[in-house]
Amino acid sequence: MGKIDIQQLDDVANRLRIDSIKMTCAAKSGHPTSSCSAAEIVATLFFNEMKFDKAFPKNPSSDRFVLSKGHACPILYAAWHQAGHISTTDMMNLRKITCDLEGHPTPRLDFIDVATGSLGQGLSCAAGMAYAGKYIDKASYRVYCLLGDGECAEGSVWEAAAFASYYKLDNLVAIVDMNRLGQTQQTMLGHDADTMAKRFESFGCYTVVVDGSNVVELLNAYNIARQTKGKPTAIVAKTLKGKGIVGIEDENNWHGKPVPENTVEAIEQHLMNKADIAGTFQIKLPVNDVPNVQLPIGHIKMAPPTYTLGDKVATRQAYGAALAKLGDACSRIIGLDGDTKNSTFSEMLLKKHPEQFVECFIAEQNLVGVAVGLQCRDRAIPFTSTFAAFFTRAADQLRMAAVSFANIKCAGSHVGVSIGEDGPSQMGLEDIALFRAIPGSIVFYPTDAVAAERATELAANTRGIAYIRTGRPACPVIYSNDEKFEIGKGKIVHDANKPKALIIGAGVTLYEAKKAADKLQSENVEVIVMDLFTIKPLDKDLIVKSARRAENRVITVEDHYQAGGIGEVVCQAVSDQKDIRVHSLFILDVPHSGPPDALLEKYGISAKCIVDAVHQFIHPPN
């Protein structure tokens, strides 16, 4: 590395600074100071270290860059501008509704793999990409993740570091831009780079502390990282927030604020005080050693289910069986679990295809983050599983997965009070709401084993975020193996000539509804029972048509809280209809431990409760 190259990199870092300052001024909002601290880091990565294809940013063989501190995106946009991929006009439209250079990065941009902006999530995604590179693609691409120091307070960073070192991801480099200042005050560690380094070291990373504004030290650190085998590298780069902006550098109260517009010229002159010899850059091209993969989404054929009607099988078990069979059909189906694989039955994939399974241990945030990383650039179709309740631990990661337009599948087992004795901490009672709130998601709630296998197959074959809600208890198979299931289509499982009400359930409550229907029939009260199969999209047509036939009375019953559950979505679906009335049964209070049947009764969703509700609906008390 000659003196000229170093000067070039210094110069380009300052150009990135100036562009960051100018574009945030134009937008009248944004984060120039968090960008400026990272200028040398980004300049050295993009214009010396990383191998990538600026003409085809999603080239699967390219090195990956994840900006975990997403608010510093001006510096990233500036880098792609320097690379020639973004025009000056576009850059100056930062944060406008017509421009995809948004306030925080999203994959609406072709050079962004994962959305960031909720802090502490990038390293998990980067670890997922590195896992794909090392173990699935077995290719040479490397993954660079730039973190802020403030976000290292997020536990998810340490989940990711532990995962990365456990799986020896030596193709992963985390760089902490340690600029000392958070949004409102100094971070917990300030400029104590040694302690930060000790943390990463104790979590299994090789660590290097550098002056983050010194391009030679940075290049040297990347070089060390490339030579480090068997563990990821963490580079702790000491920097200054607002570096290079006189009067703002290293000062508090400059987070997320453009500089005063009338100071821009002076800042530019100060930064470009020396001859700008940067010129244009030879960006290193990737080695095209990634296997050619086309995910057969839409065409993944699973061997059909082979159950016997009436046999008792838990839907979680059927999920595991389907996942293993999908693994036969497609080697890029990857199972991930949070040390619950014998409960969720994802271990059935592990047993059949160990190379298609990633144990993520008890760290659900990282579980989802790694899955998001794996699916980038279509390297895999990840199926994550844990108890439904514990997906709430990753609610923010799931929210961001939606902003990333990710293709991940989640299977949550042990839903509702029907899990019984383990008690409320283990009961998934808000998972339907959680997954329904994801734009474009599909929410499956299969009732029996056949439906659960088909839900898993449909999830694999449909891009986007899909959730499969599975149950703990073994329940009778009610569908024949050749029953056809479609997304957004429910089933009438109990019909009648002169029905007085439509009962809608799914999972355990469908069985209760069927029992209730039998009981009511013995009392000469006829009802229709409908199995939803998917809660999102909802089979509105069948609901409305069936309700009309059933004297406009609908009863919903679910092993879930009210908010965002089946009752509410059905109410909304019929809200444009006159006459149809809905009565909803759901879990109202924090449940207690106890036998499943007793809990269904106590919390008002048993067959008996349904029978009572139907009677009350038909003959309301005065």
Q: Which two tokens stand for residue 533?
A: 């199969």
Residues 105-134 that bind its own copies (CB under 8 A): 106, 108, 115-120
Q: Which of 103, 296, 464, 488 binds its own copies (CB under 8 A)?
A: 103
First to last CA, the chain: 89
- Range in contact with its own copies (rule: CB under 8 A) among 12-20, 25-33, 41-49, 502-510: 25-33
Backbone dihedral angles phi then psi of residue 66, each to the nearest 5 degrees: -115, 120
Contact characters 195-224, its own copies, x per CB under 8 A: x--xx-xxxx--------------------
Query: Could you tell me the smallest distance in angstroms from the CB atom of residue 362 to its own copies?
Result: 5
364 counts as catalytic: yes
DSSP, collapsed to helix, strand or coil, labels residue 400 as: helix
Examine residue 27 and tell whether it contacts its own copies (CB under 8 A): yes
Strand partners, 491: 531
Q: Which of 19, 49, 90, 568 binds its own copies (CB under 8 A)?
A: 568
- Range in contact with its own copies (rule: CB under 8 A) among 74-82, 320-328, 407-415, 571-579: 571-579
Query: Could you tell me the smallest distance in angstroms from the CB atom of residue 480 to its own copies?
Result: 33
Q: Using an 8 Å Cβ cutoff, are 528 and 492 in contact?
A: yes
Closest to its own copies by CB, 103 vs 476, is: 103
Residues 32-51 that bind its own copies (CB under 8 A): none
Q: Which of 268, 272, 577, 615 binds its own copies (CB under 8 A)?
A: 577
Return the residue matching tokens 């289910």.
305
Query: Could you tell me the smallest distance in angstroms from the CB atom of residue 163 to its own copies?
Result: 8
Examine residue 464 and tell whether it contacts its own copies (CB under 8 A): no
Closest to its own copies by CB, 155 vs 291, is: 155
Q: Which of 84, 87, 88, 155 binds its own copies (CB under 8 A)?
A: 155
Closest to its own copies by CB, 79 vs 400, is: 400
Query: Could you tell me the smallest distance in angstroms from the CB atom of residue 223 to its own copies?
Result: 25
Say how many C-beta atoms besides its own lie within 10 A of residue 252's C-beta.
13
Residues 388-407 that bind its own copies (CB under 8 A): 389-390, 392-393, 395-396, 399-400, 402-403, 405
Instruction: Report which secondary-structure segment, H or E, holds 444.
Output: strand 442-445
- Range in contact with its own copies (rule: CB under 8 A) among 259-267, 284-292, 475-483, 581-589: 581-589
Half-sphere exposure of 312 (CA within 13 A, CB side): 6
Residues 230-259 that bind its own copies (CB under 8 A): none
Q: Using an 8 Å Cβ cutoff, are 443 and 435 in contact?
A: yes
Examine residue 429 and tell whether it contacts its own copies (CB under 8 A): yes
Query: Could you tell me the smallest distance in angstroms from the CB atom of residue 47 to its own copies?
Result: 27
Query: Could you tell me the smallest distance in angstroms from the CB atom of residue 85 to its own copies?
Result: 19
Nearest C-alpha neighbor of 129 from the set 150, 115, 113: 113
Closest to its own copies by CB, 281 vs 405, is: 405
Instruction: Report which secondary-structure segment, H or E, holds 144.
Output: strand 143-148
Examine residue 622 and tell whether it contacts its own copies (CB under 8 A): no
Half-sphere exposure of 171 (CA within 13 A, CB side): 23
Contact characters 157-186, its own copies, x per CB under 8 A: xxx--x---x---------------xxxx-
Contact characters 49-68, its own copies, x per CB under 8 A: --------------------
Q: Are strands 312-313 and 475-476 parallel, antiparallel or unpaired?
A: antiparallel
Contact characters 504-523, its own copies, x per CB under 8 A: --------------------
Residues 306-365 that bind its own copies (CB under 8 A): 337, 339-343, 347, 359, 361-365
Q: Which two tokens stand for residue 371?
A: 């899955």
Q: Using an 8 Å Cβ cutoff, are 24 and 32 in contact?
A: yes
Query: Could you tell me the smallest distance in angstroms from the CB atom of residue 604 to its own copies?
Result: 13
Closest to its own copies by CB, 518 vs 551, is: 551
412 CB-near residues (< 8 Å, 6+ apart): 385, 386, 387, 388, 389, 390, 391, 428, 431, 467, 468, 469, 470
Q: Which two tokens stand for residue 14?
A: 């300052």
Half-sphere exposure of 565 (CA within 13 A, CB side): 22
Query: Could you tell me the smallest distance in angstroms from the CB atom of residue 573 to its own copies?
Result: 9
Query: Could you tell me the smallest distance in angstroms from the CB atom of residue 256 to its own copies?
Result: 9
343 CB-near residues (< 8 Å, 6+ apart): 316, 387, 413, 414
DSSP 8-state code for residue 488: T
Q: How many residues bind its own copies (CB under 8 A)?
A: 112
Residues 594-613 that bind its own copies (CB under 8 A): 594-595, 598-599, 602
What is the residue type of 194? D
Closest to its own copies by CB, 57 vs 420, is: 420
Examine residue 92 and tell whether it contacts its own copies (CB under 8 A): no
Nearest C-alpha neighbor of 160 from the set 472, 394, 429, 454: 394
Query: Could you tell me the smallest distance in angstroms from the CB atom of residue 19 to its own copies?
Result: 18
In angstroms and rounded to an integer, the radius of gyration of the C-alpha atoms of the chain is 27
Q: Using an 8 Å Cβ cutoff, are 530 and 490 in contact?
A: yes
Q: Which of 176, 544, 582, 600 binds its own copies (CB under 8 A)?
A: 582
DSSP, collapsed to helix, strand or coil, labels residue 555 as: strand
Taking the C-alpha atoms of residue 342 and residue 305, their distance in angstroms, rounded to an integer, is 20
Say how many C-beta atoms besides its own lie within 10 A of residue 88's C-beta.
11
Q: The sheet that has 206-211: what strands, in order across it?
A: 64-67, 143-148, 172-178, 233-238, 206-211
Q: Residue 217: which region, alpha, beta or left (left: phi > 0; alpha: psi -120 to 50)?
A: alpha
Nearest C-alpha neighbor of 243 from the set 503, 490, 475, 13: 13
Query: Could you tell me the smallest distance in angstroms from the CB atom of residue 197 to its own copies?
Result: 9
Closest to its own copies by CB, 48 vs 344, is: 344
Q: Please pick, among 364, 453, 558, 568, the residue that the annotation labels catalytic.
A: 364
Q: Return the active site residues.
A: 364
